[in-house]
Amino acid sequence: MNTIDIIIKKRDKLPLNENEIKHIITGAVNGSIPDYQLSSFLMAAFINGLNEEETFFLTKSMLYSGEIIDFKDIEKTTVDKHSTGGVADTTTLILSPAVSSLGASVMKMSGRGLGFSGGTADKLSAIPGFDTEIDVDKAKEYIKNIDIALVSQSSNLAPADKILYALRDVTGTVESIPLIASSIVSKKIATGADAIVFDVKCGNGAFMKDVESARELSKMLISLCTKFGKKSASVISSMNQPLGNFIGNSLEVIEAIETLKGKTENDLYHLSSMLGAAMLYCIEKASSLEEGKKQFDEVISNGKALEKLSALIKNQNGNAEIINDYSLLPSSKYSTVFYSTESGYLSHYDTDKIGMASVETGAGRKEKSDIIDLGAGIIIHKRIGDYVEKGDKLFDVYSSDKNKLENAVSILSASFKLSDTKPPEDKLILDIILP
Ligand code: URA
């Protein structure tokens, strides 16, 4: 089969068959197709799109390019959650112990963060001793014993996606619905969960800028999962402002624990509860989302979700004392407070900029090889719609590097708008698509 013919076919808007797509993926993994041809294929697919069948073939080829885990031998129905990536999005640390304390088996493989979407594996590394580098057999043992394992993603899951994603990142071909859907679903199916709930972010801090595209992506994710025999659902949520108020690794662990202690009823809590409800619904532990939410709220108020977090931390060799003593978490050397110089309603956040500012503090990576400053980050004091008085605190900023602290403050100063009139509410949950 000739690679050029396949590229030309896609360039000319003709649909590709399974063998042609398989040829591209096999060539990407074994190195027989050079990056310039892969990039050209990706651009043709980006511009001309891939139909449903082509997207399925692409997902399948990427899935079979590596290891596929299955949990059949431990006879547990496992459920996973995947977010398309946002700022201050620490729902995993809240909903995983919560739904696990309700009898769901949660097996979550997470990546390290790159750019402003923090990776769960990085957040967990803020907990002293917590070991995410666990092999599949050990993870299965954990699921058998305590119904939860949060581990780093094995490097051999869907290796074709890693190759293609690295090229998409530098060729302007990331924001394509079929390419995003096949990338996400190939990895998720490879991790072996029986059911998957997607949190599709929508807004100025997300790939999907409007609800119509978020809906289109959601439908494609669900339809692909169905084709692989997996139950799934999608919650479309706003990323027009950071989800929680704490951004950074230690900081997000603290906010997750405060939420599990029942101390906050904010957007982070409400979205965690809805995603948790959808997870319970997908594995038939709740007959409706309302019932799932009720169960979720109960394990927050009776402390069972927090107990489960403690069990999870101990099981993976972490220091569970952090739950009652946040000073045991890594912290940064320097901090500063950003005060408002004007009054008005907070009408707009440029969420991308806030994410970039957090990366600048050292809380995230610009390059894969960067070492994270686990204590660095930002605390946000106002939400969209809040009234801000001149002199009110807007942000606390933390970093172990003074220059980085100053750079982050300068980015933050251009990340929000105040207005004389109260802006419309920024709705958190924009749609829910059930199987
Ligand atoms: N997340 C992924 O895993 N893949 C994409 O293409 C985009 C977001």
183 is catalytic: yes
pLDDT in tens, 100-132: 999 999 988 887 665 666 689 999 999 999 999
Residue 330 alpha carbon to ligand 1 centre in Å: 29
Residue 33 alpha carbon to ligand 1 centre in Å: 22
Q: Does residue 228 register a pLDDT over 80?
A: yes
168 is catalytic: yes
Q: Is 218 helix (H, G, I), strand (E, B) or coil?
A: helix
Ligand 1 site, residue 183, Cβ cutoff 6 A: yes
Q: Does residue 312 register a pLDDT over 60?
A: yes
Kindly list the distances between the CA atom of residue 22 and the CA atoms of 29, 322, 379, in Å, as whole numbers in the listed order. 11, 48, 46
Residue 155 alpha carbon to ligand 1 centre in Å: 16
Q: How does residue 286 score in pLDDT terms, banded at 50, 70 and 90?
A: very high
Residue 55 CB neighbours (<10 A): 23
Q: Tell me the average pLDDT of the chain.
A: 95
Residue 272 alpha carbon to ligand 1 centre in Å: 21
368 is catalytic: no
Catalytic residue among 60, 168, 201, 308: 168
Measuring CA to CA, which residue among 194, 213, 216 is closest to residue 202? 213
Residue 46 alpha carbon to ligand 1 centre in Å: 14
CA 358 and chain centroid, separation: 16
Average pLDDT over residues 330-344: 98
Q: Whose CA is nearest to atom 5 of ligand 1?
A: 180
Mutation test residue for ligand 1: of 80, 163, 165, 201, the one with most atoms within 8 Å of CB = 165
Is the pLDDT higher at 70 or at 310? 310
Q: How far apart are CA 164 and CA 173, in angstroms?
A: 10
Catalytic residue among 82, 230, 308, 404: 82
Average pLDDT over residues 126-150: 94
201 is catalytic: no
pLDDT in tens, 381-422: 999 999 999 999 999 999 999 999 999 999 999 999 999 999
227 is catalytic: no
Ligand 1 site, residue 180, Cβ cutoff 6 A: yes
Kindly list the distances between the CA atom of residue 384 and the CA atoms of 299, 339, 424, 425, in Å, as whole numbers in the listed order. 29, 16, 9, 7
